[in-house]
Structure 1
Amino acid sequence: MPEPPHNWGRWGDGDQLGTLNLLTPERVLAALGAARTGRVLGLALPIKGATSGTAPAGVPHMAGRPLPQHFMSIDGGDYAAGTRAIGAGLRTADDALVLSPHGTTTHMDALCHMWTGDTLYNGHPADRVRSYGAGRLGIEHAAGRGVIARGVLFDAARHRGVERLDARDRVGAEELAEMAAAAGADAPRAGDAVLLRTGWPLAWAEDPARYQGAQPGLGADAGRWLAERDVALVAADNTAVQGLNAGGRSDEDLRDDLHLTLLWRHGIHLAEMLWLEELAAALAAEDRSDFLFIALPLPVHGGTASPVNPVAVL
């Protein structure tokens, strides 16, 4: 069992939802009130396969991670096959997609994604995560509940008056508290989805190598600050929520590693590689920070993550 504080046992020894348990019917209904204009904004990066022309140079992704493979299983040259299958006079196309969500597309981490020692979140045995999938804490549990919550944007780039943060920048607990006070929206509340904007996807257009090196993100004390406020989910527009060094690793030790603090100790799901530029501009124009946040992972049985297409309803 991890050192306190943690959420192990809070929702029972068999719990596999973590802080998604906070999304009670009452909180979901209350979250709907954060949608005031009905405007919907998509928060996902596009999925473009490595075989789609210039896609590898066009979509942010981590170095060394396999790009999505998207190809047509029935294309323009297969009209005859489609006609035989469906009926005379009809034409069809079909495709196939193979992807590894971590580091290549907007995704949500399952609670089995990271741990230390021999146990996963809530004491589930780590040896249940095998080559055929995770027998405990797979993303299918989050998919069964979904994330429908009040979202709160912490726009760290705007707070610092820059277009994007520098790779060495870390957003700490004190800065989160400053942004929360400025928002004046009781942010964050228990059960909220907290979104962090660093502006880091903009670095890809400047230089993909810069994007794939060190990157800004939350500091260790920020993770503890968010856990203390009982948030349901933490999402960011970088690839790891926390900041990374040039080697693609966290500078913190195991006690302070943000993935371990949030995923492993507290059961707080993470969502990474969001696109937050339009949302940030819209919220700034309306002088607000909260909205209705919806993210529905795929029910990939035993999956350590799932691609998601999150949306904000203003």
Structure 2
Amino acid sequence: MSSSPRWKHRPPGSNWGDFGPDDQCGRMNLLTPDKVLQGMQEVRTGQTFNLSLPLDFPGGNVLNPRRQPPVLRPTLRGDKPNMNYQLWCDDPACTDVVCDDLVIMHLQYSTQWDSLAHVGSMFDANGDGVPEPVYYNGFRAGTDVVGPSSGAGAGIFGFPEIARESTSAAKALGIEKMSERCVQGRAVMIDLHAHLGRERVRVGYDLLMDIMRKDSVVVEPGDMVCLHTGFAQMLLEMNKQPDPHAVENSCAVLEGRDERLLQWITDSGLVALIADNYAVEGLPASPRPGSCAALPLHEHCLFKLGVHLGEIWHLTPLANWLREHSRHRFLLTAPPLRLPGAIGSPATPIATV
């Protein structure tokens, strides 16, 4: 463990400092060239799978009332929309017709990655006896992760007159740090849906280990782990009209309160934990007396270990193919947007088998 000017104490069970006092990549440090080569060795047919939902799914704001579907608009050319714009309007000699657009988008609306700035915790990192809001490796709220001082600088205020400057940014731990690692290597599929169907089950350590044993699934350090629950496939079938009862009561989720499950995440050496459901873990978390994290698995992964979470990926076609061919490993290429300061990012992950 390296010392750090940002903290004197690190959270119990965390790896702060293990990759250096200023590390912003967490367990992505274990995604080495050897792991890329291991992923490439899993490619036997050259067949590819797009693991992203269309980014206007799930539709509406049932999953999260603060997140809305993306809005596409043309850019302006003078005072006219730059869509099917005939350049001869400006120059009679021109024959070109052009289109150009922009998007207003909640970055974690659909298939996404969480950055390490997405969830922190109140923790006494400097040892003065007073907890302060901090993120992975001791990076500070208000200094390294900043936001506006009022609601007027947040949300969709100011659209369609789009703001020229950002009002918030992760000066440390932004999603661009993950993008710079390229995010390509060996991934492992754990097919919860094949054993549990669409029943709402909170999967703890014992059940997860039982399913992995039955399917002969092995997770090794540096692997990216995908959990297939069937949730994203259900969203597709709902055709952008998600049923609130169904999305709250269907498909498997991890039991974030299970300490043995969290310890397995630590001990396995996995570098990313990905699911096709809304939050990987069950929301709301199971009740627990006393003060504790509302998102215990998020806290463990993002805050303590620097393990990125992927959510609402479309895993069903790939999971079905892997099961039909008695396989569970594949090459995964899944960088987020290289958008400096962003807390999360849409993703278009590609699996190659």
**Rounded Cα–Cα distance in structure 1 between residues aligned with 2:305 and 2:176:** 19
**Rounded Cα–Cα distance in structure 2 between residues aligned with 1:86 and 1:182:** 70
Q: Tell me the secondary structure at the aligned position of residue 36 of structure 2.
A: helix
**Rounded Cα–Cα distance in structure 2 between residues aligned with 1:138 and 1:180:** 33
Is the 1:60–1:201 contact (alpha carbons within 8 Å) kept by the matching residues of 2? Answer: no
1:107 aligns with 2:121: no
What amino acid sits opposite 1:171 in the alignment?
V
CA pair 36-2 structure 1, distance change in 2 beyond 3 A = same
**Rounded Cα–Cα distance in structure 2 between residues aligned with 1:141 and 1:82:** 44
**Rounded Cα–Cα distance in structure 2 between residues aligned with 1:304 and 1:223:** 23
Stretch of structure 1 that moved more, 173-182 or 13-22: 173-182
Is the 1:242–1:250 contact (alpha carbons within 8 Å) kept by the matching residues of 2? Answer: no
113, 127, 130: which one aligns with 2:146? 130
CA pair 126-240 structure 1, distance change in 2 beyond 3 A = same
Stretch of structure 1 that moved more, 255-264 or 197-206: 197-206
What amino acid sits opposite 1:115 in the alignment?
G
1:119 aligns with 2:134: yes
What count of residue pairs does the alignment treat as equivalent? 299
RMSD: 2.6
Provide the residue aligned with 2:175 in structure 1: 139
**Rounded Cα–Cα distance in structure 2 between residues aligned with 1:261 and 1:18:** 12
Q: Tell me the secondary structure at the aligned position of residue 264 of structure 1.
A: helix
Q: Deviations over 1:233-279 (max 9, x none)?
A: 0000111111113xxx6656329700001111000001111011101
**Rounded Cα–Cα distance in structure 1 between residues aligned with 2:348 and 2:37:** 21
Q: Tell me the secondary structure at the aligned position of residue 195 of structure 1.
A: strand
Provide the residue aligned with 1:239 in structure 2: 278
Is the 2:190–2:328 contact (alpha carbons within 8 Å) kept by the matching residues of 1? Answer: yes
Give the Å deviation of 1:174. 1.5
Give the Å deviation of 1:165. 3.0
CA pair 242-80 structure 1, distance change in 2 beyond 3 A = same
What amino acid sits opposite 2:176 in the alignment?
E
Give the Å deviation of 1:38. 1.0
Q: Return the TM-score normalized by structure 1.
A: 0.86
31, 35, 42: which one aligns with 1:34? 42
What amino acid sits opposite 2:40 in the alignment?
L
Q: Deviations over 1:80-108 (max 9, x none)?
A: 35864897111111111111122x11111
**Rounded Cα–Cα distance in structure 1 between residues aligned with 2:47 and 2:347:** 19
Identity, in percent, stands at 30
CA pair 26-77 structure 1, distance change in 2 beyond 3 A = closer
Provide the residue aligned with 2:69 in structure 1: 67
1:148 aligns with 2:184: yes
Structure 1 unaligned spans of 5+: 50-54
**Rounded Cα–Cα distance in structure 1 between residues aligned with 2:27 and 2:93:** 50
More helix as a share of residues: 1
Q: Return the TM-score normalized by structure 2.
A: 0.77
Give the Å deviation of 1:294. 1.1
Q: Tell me the secondary structure at the aligned position of residue 270 of structure 1.
A: strand
150, 172, 179: which one aligns with 2:211? 179
1:91 aligns with 2:97: yes
Q: Tell me the secondary structure at the aligned position of residue 150 of structure 1.
A: strand
Structure 2 unaligned spans of 5+: 1-8, 123-132, 148-167
1:272 aligns with 2:311: yes
Q: Tell me the secondary structure at the aligned position of residue 85 of structure 2.
A: helix
